[in-house]
Every structure is written in structure tokens, then in C-alpha cells.
């Protein structure tokens, strides 16, 4: 697989909810190792787009092709349910905005990290525990809390746990929906630093949906601006943020409060 | 203990076996499907029975559907033949089906059970009917029924190991001691009803047919004779049966499943076989435990 071939190829993706066109004719490619940010105001279709691309929602029209480990392009919609589930636990990872959606709140942190391993067939307790400890250390969590329930964790710790749980099976493509939403600024900064490091070290491809332009400036190589279900502008992050072309993007960039 | 099968007259006010013939046919169809797909939960139209949910409405409906005039019925509750539930279900079938009842495992053709498998190995031709409170092994882990069924359909059972992982992380070993999840025929994850994990190995390749009925949850499932039944475990934490490290105080059995019985308020206790028929049989054959004979006699006579 060369970097010249996209890992994800989206063409003409559309989805309506009744009279509302949530996503209209979205097309893009994502290359290996690339982090793409999707920005826009609330209700602009960012999260729906993420659901469509990750296969949890069926589009009305359009295709999503994903390059598997063998290098073949797979049509996500045409895949069988078991194959798609397998893909979602091995090659993909999803980090939800609310860690409660991504974590099992009634089992310990270690079990949360180990769940994906057990789901793909790991049956050696010592190895699963070792992997859980390794990943908790990598997301800078205290190993003494490996047997604690996630609900006893702070918001930032829950989010880090969710990231550990997602990355334990070494996915190649990670979807993040507002990964820093609801966290205070200092925790946000640490989390962003962590995500940036992990993405760089592991060579992940990622799609990050956010309304926070500062997050995209730190993490994303490329930016896609959405308004009312349509992509109004794409380009390199710095280029879009420093020289916005579309009136909506200009509004978005100018409305950021300078600290 | 009744040793000679007595045949009481059937109550003429009821159809044979209490249920009407159409209901029995419906349950038999569900049973055939269950036997054809070992471990798969077949939905069925569970009827109201003259006893409350949780007292064995599922088991009693299966027994009513398969019982014939020539059958001999044994009912056990926590291993015992003489508890209220066991006695009343036995009396129920004696009245509505006129079948012979027994407390002896060896002569019974149908054994309806709650929470135990008899110690004596069952033979071909016998049928073991389990009363099941919760047929879905994933219920505690995955509350959505639709998702749980999808997991069964796709044999997607990693989640069950999360539960076992939690056990080891908290207690250092798999602490699940009853209703221990099993894989049937290498395909379906199954709740063996709340039998102790001690009984799990007996299900593996059992010569008798095993039927499971959950009345409230309206599910029937089955394990045909000689089917693989494996308890889930980890490579480095293999499945282990647990029993009290004692012998039966009445019959001296070193290998049966024991109940702990508190005998006074000074910390006195004794361990006895939970399977009363097994214990009586051993005592009949001359086996004696530490508290059998004079010691018991003294307690009975108030000397100690």
C-alpha cells in the first residue's frame, strides 16, 4: 500500500431525515496517516456524516470504500454484518463525544480496554491484562486504578480510557466525534497533546469532527467545512483558517474568541 | 420414600397432563426445534400455569407436553425430593396425568429439576427437564434484547469473557459459582439455569436428553444426548469446579455437592449431600458419615 492510494474514499454521500437533508453529496478521500478535521456549526451534518462513513447509519445515496489490510477497496455498505463488526473492532476505532457512549460503565477500566481484544478472540487473561496496563500507561493513567469502575473517573480520565480502549487493537482509521467536548481547558490541552502524539507515533488516519477550530488547528492536516449538510470549503488546515474563501468559513473563523 | 411406583387415578376434570392437546403440540414443536439447534433459545407461547412464575412454570409445561402414562416422574428442588416445590409438582402430575412418581433417580424416566443435576449419571432414555428463570446468558451484560439476539446470531460472544475478566480482576479467580455460562456444540452460548458450576461437567456429553423451559421469559432450549458442552474460561485460568472441602456428614460421600446446614447457634454446622436420593442410597448401602448414627440420634433425642 502506498501513500498515493487513499485509505478511505467517499463519493456522493447523501442522507435525509424526512424533509431535512442532513448530508448532501459529500465526497472526499482520506490518505494513510492523514488527519482530517470536519468543522461546522451545530446541525450542519458533521456527526451524521461520521455515522454514515463509519457504517452505523445507511446513506440514501453514495458509496464509502475502505482499503483493508490486504490493499483491496471494500464497499462498507456491501459488506456482511459480521465482516463490518469485525472491521469496526479491528481496523476502526470510534471515540465518542460522551465517554458514556463508548465505555461500559459497569465494568472496570481494565475490562473496558480488554473488551475489544476479547471480542476478537483473545483468551489469555495475563496477556489481556498486560495489554490493558500498557495502554493505560500510554494514555497517562494511573495503573492503580485499573480495577476501578469508569464512573468513578473524571471526565478527562474517562475520555483517555475511551481512547485506550479504542486503540488497543491497533486500528488504522479512527473516527473522533468532539473528543474534547465538555472538558475544561487545561484537561483539553493535555488530551489534545496526547491524541496528537498517539496519532503521530502510530501513523493513524483519523477523521475528527468538532466545532472547535483550535482543536483542528492542533490536530488536523486538512479541513472540511460543512454548512447545512454540504461541504462549502476544503483545504489544508492553515490555509483554510488563515485565508478562508467561503463567506461561512470567514464568519466561523472571525467568530472565534481570542484568549 | 415411595419405592414401588403407585398409580393414582387421574382427575377426570383435566385433560391428560393439564395442558390441552393444541398447547402440547405447540410446545413439542418448539422442543423439536430446540433439539435440532442445540443451545438455541426457541420462543414459545407460554401458558398461565396454576403456580407462580419462578416456581417452575417453564419446566412444568415441558414435562406436561412430553409425559405419557407409562412415564415415571421425579422432581427435585435444590437436589432434594422432599421440599414443598418438588412435592407439590409431583403431586400435581400424579393428579392430572395419573403417572407414577418416584424419588429414585435410577427408575425415573423424566426428572424435572431446579438448581441441580443428580449425582448418579443419567442414562439414555431419561429426560432431564430444567426450570429456568433467565434463559439469556447475556442479559446482565447486554440489556437490549435485539442486540443480544444479534450477538447469538453472529456467535459474537466476546462480551461474556468481559464478565469472567471482571471476576478474576476482583477476586483473583473466576468467582461465578452458579449459572456458569457454557458453549453448546461449539456454537451457542447457553445459560445452564442456576445449577452450581460443580454440575457443569455433567452436562458434557450426557447420555440423557436435557430440556430447558423458561415460563416467564417464554423460551425453550435443549441439549441433545452426547452433545459437547464446554464451560467458558481463559487459557491461564481454566474452568474449575468448586465444592466444600468436606465429606457428607451423613453418608460420607467425598465427591458429592454439599449443603451446609447450621445446627445450633453456637457455630455448629454439618455438611450433607444436596442430592437427597444419592445420600439415602449410599446410607442404604451401608456408608456412614462422621455425624451419622448415634451422633444424630443424640441430637434428635436432645442429649447433646
Q: What is the pLDDT of residue B292?
A: 79
What confidence score (pLDDT) does residue B114 get? 93
Pick the residue from chain B with its C-alpha nearest to A107.
B166
| CA–CA separation, B304 and B300 (whole Å) | 9
User: If you average pLDDT over residues B21-43, what whole number do you get?
Assistant: 97
Q: What DSSP letter does each residue of A205-254 carry, written as one string?
A: EEEEEES-HHHHHHH-SEEEEEETTEEEEEEEHHHHHHS--SHHHHHHHH
Residues 6 or more apart whose CB falls under 8 angstroms from that of A167 comprise A93, A135, A138, A174, A198, A202
pLDDT value, residue A134 = 93
- Model ipTM? 0.84
Inform me whether the pLDDT recorded for B2 exceeds 70. Answer: no
pLDDT at A76 over 50: yes
> Which ranges constitute the DSSP H helices of chain B?
21-36, 57-66, 84-96, 145-153, 158-171, 200-203, 276-284, 294-301
The grid coordinates of residue B2 equal 415411595
What is the pLDDT, as a whole number, of residue B26? Answer: 97
More confident residue, B11 or B262: B262
Closest residue by Cα to residue A27 from A67, A69, A72, A62? A62
What predicted TM-score, i.e. pTM, was given to this entire model?
A: 0.85
Of B156, B166, B237, the CB nearest to A111: B166
Label residue B38 exposed, middle or buried (CB < 10 Å: 0-12, 13-18, 19+).
Answer: buried
Q: How confident is the model at residue B304 (pLDDT cuts 50, 70, 90)?
A: very low
pLDDT reported for residue A69 = 86
From A81, A104, A123, residue closest to B154, measured CB to CB: A81
pLDDT at A1: 46
Secondary structure letter of residue B267 according to DSSP: S
Q: Does B161 contact chain A (CB < 8 Å)?
A: yes
Q: Give A108's Cβ-side CA count (13 Å radius).
A: 23
Q: Which of these is catalytic: B56, B79, B247, B248?
A: B248
Mean pLDDT computed over A94-108: 89
Nearest CB neighbour to A147, from listed B170, B235, B237: B170
- Burial state string for A90-127 with b = 16 or more CB within 10 A and e = fewer than 16: bbbbbbbbebeebbbeebbbbbbbbbbbbbeebbebee
Q: Is the pLDDT of residue A257 over 90?
A: no
Size of interface A-B (CB pairs under 8 A): 53
If you average pLDDT over each of A87-96, A214-223, A240-249, B119-128, which comes out highest?
B119-128
More confident residue, A257 or A251: A251
Q: Which H or E element spans position A99?
A: helix A99-102
pLDDT band at A12 (very low <50, low <70, confident <90, very high): very high
Q: What is the mean pLDDT of residues A29-51?
A: 91
Question: With contacts defined as CB-CB under 8 Å, which chain B residues touch A119?
Answer: 156, 158-159
Q: Max Cα separation, chain B? A: 64
pLDDT tens digits for range B219-255? 999 999 999 999 999 999 999 988 889 999 999 999 9
* Those residues with Cβ within 8 angstroms of residue B189's Cβ, 6 or more apart along the chain or in another chain: B39, B137, B138, B152, B157, B160, B181, B182, B183, B232
Amino acid at each position: 500500500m502506498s501513500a498515493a492510494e487513499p485509505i478511505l474514499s467517499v463519493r456522493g454521500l447523501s442522507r435525509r431525515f424526512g424533509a431535512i437533508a442532513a448530508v448532501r453529496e459529500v465526497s472526499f478521500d482520506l490518505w494513510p496517516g492523514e488527519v482530517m478535521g470536519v468543522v461546522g456549526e451545530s446541525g450542519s451534518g458533521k456527526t451524521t456524516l461520521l455515522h454514515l462513513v463509519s457504517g452505523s447509519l445507511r446513506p440514501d445515496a453514495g458509496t464509502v470504500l475502505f482499503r483493508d489490510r490486504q490493499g483491496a477497496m471494500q464497499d462498507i455498505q456491501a459488506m456482511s454484518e459480521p465482516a463490518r463488526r469485525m472491521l469496526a473492532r479491528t481496523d476502526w476505532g470510534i471515540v465518542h463525544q460522551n465517554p458514556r457512549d463508548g465505555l461500559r460503565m459497569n465494568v472496570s477500566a481494565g475490562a473496558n480496554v480488554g473488551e475489544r481484544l476479547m471480542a476478537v478472540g483473545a483468551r489469555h487473561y495475563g496477556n489481556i491484562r498486560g495489554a490493558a496496563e500498557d495502554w493505560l500507561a500510554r494514555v497517562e493513567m494511573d495503573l492503580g486504578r485499573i480495577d476501578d469502575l469508569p464512573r468513578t473517573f473524571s471526565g478527562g480520565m474517562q475520555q483517555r480510557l475511551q481512547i485506550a480502549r479504542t486503540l488497543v487493537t491497533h486500528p488504522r482509521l479512527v473516527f473522533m466525534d468532539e473528543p474534547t467536548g465538555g472538558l475544561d481547558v487545561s484537561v483539553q490541552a493535555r488530551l489534545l497533546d496526547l491524541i496528537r502524539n498517539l496519532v503521530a507515533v502510530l501513523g493513524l488516519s483519523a477523521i475528527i469532527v468538532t466545532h472547535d477550530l483550535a482543536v483542528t488547528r492542533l490536530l488536523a492536516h486538512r479541513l472540511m467545512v460543512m454548512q447545512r449538510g454540504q461541504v462549502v470549503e476544503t483545504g489544508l488546515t492553515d490555509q483554510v483558517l488563515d485565508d478562508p474563501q467561503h463567506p461561512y468559513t470567514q464568519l466561523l473563523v472571525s467568530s472565534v474568541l481570542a484568549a | 420414600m415411595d419405592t414401588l411406583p403407585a398409580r393414582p387415578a387421574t382427575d377426570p376434570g383435566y385433560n391428560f397432563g393439564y395442558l390441552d392437546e393444541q398447547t402440547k403440540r405447540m410446545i413439542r414443536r418448539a422442543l423439536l426445534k430446540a433439539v435440532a439447534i442445540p443451545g438455541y433459545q426457541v420462543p414459545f407461547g407460554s401458558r398461565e400455569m396454576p403456580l407462580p412464575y419462578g416456581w417452575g412454570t417453564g419446566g412444568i409445561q415441558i414435562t406436561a407436553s412430553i409425559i405419557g402414562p407409562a412415564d415415571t416422574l421425579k422432581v427435585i428442588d435444590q437436589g432434594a425430593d422432599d421440599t414443598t416445590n418438588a412435592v407439590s409438582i409431583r403431586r400435581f402430575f400424579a393428579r392430572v396425568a395419573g403417572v407414577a412418581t418416584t424419588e429414585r433417580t435410577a427408575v425415573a424416566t423424566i426428572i424435572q429439576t431446579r438448581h441441580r443435576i443428580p449425582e448418579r449419571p443419567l442414562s439414555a432414555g431419561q429426560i432431564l427437564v430444567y426450570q429456568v428463570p433467565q434463559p439469556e446468558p447475556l442479559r446482565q451484560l447486554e440489556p437490549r434484547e435485539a442486540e443480544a439476539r444479534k450477538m447469538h446470531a453472529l456467535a459474537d460472544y466476546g462480551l461474556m469473557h468481559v464478565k469472567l475478566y471482571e471476576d478474576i480482576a476482583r477476586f483473583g479467580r473466576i468467582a461465578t459459582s452458579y449459572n456458569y455460562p457454557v458453549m453448546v456444540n461449539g456454537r451457542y452460548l447457553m445459560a445452564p439455569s442456576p445449577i452450581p458450576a460443580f454440575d457443569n461437567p455433567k452436562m458434557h456429553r450426557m447420555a440423557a436428553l436435557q430440556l430447558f423451559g423458561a415460563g416467564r421469559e417464554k423460551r425453550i432450549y435443549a441439549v441433545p444426548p452426547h452433545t459437547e458442552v464446554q464451560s467458558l474460561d481463559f487459557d491461564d485460568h481454566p474452568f474449575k469446579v468448586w465444592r466444600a472441602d468436606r465429606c457428607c456428614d451423613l453418608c460420607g460421600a467425598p465427591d458429592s455437592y454439599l449443603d451446609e446446614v447450621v445446627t445450633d447457634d453456637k457455630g455448629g454446622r454439618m455438611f450433607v449431600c444436596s442430592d437427597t436420593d444419592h445420600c439415602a442410597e449410599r446410607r442404604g448401602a451401608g456408608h456412614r458419615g462422621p455425624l451419622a448414627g448415634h451422633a444424630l440420634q443424640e441430637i434428635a433425642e436432645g442429649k447433646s
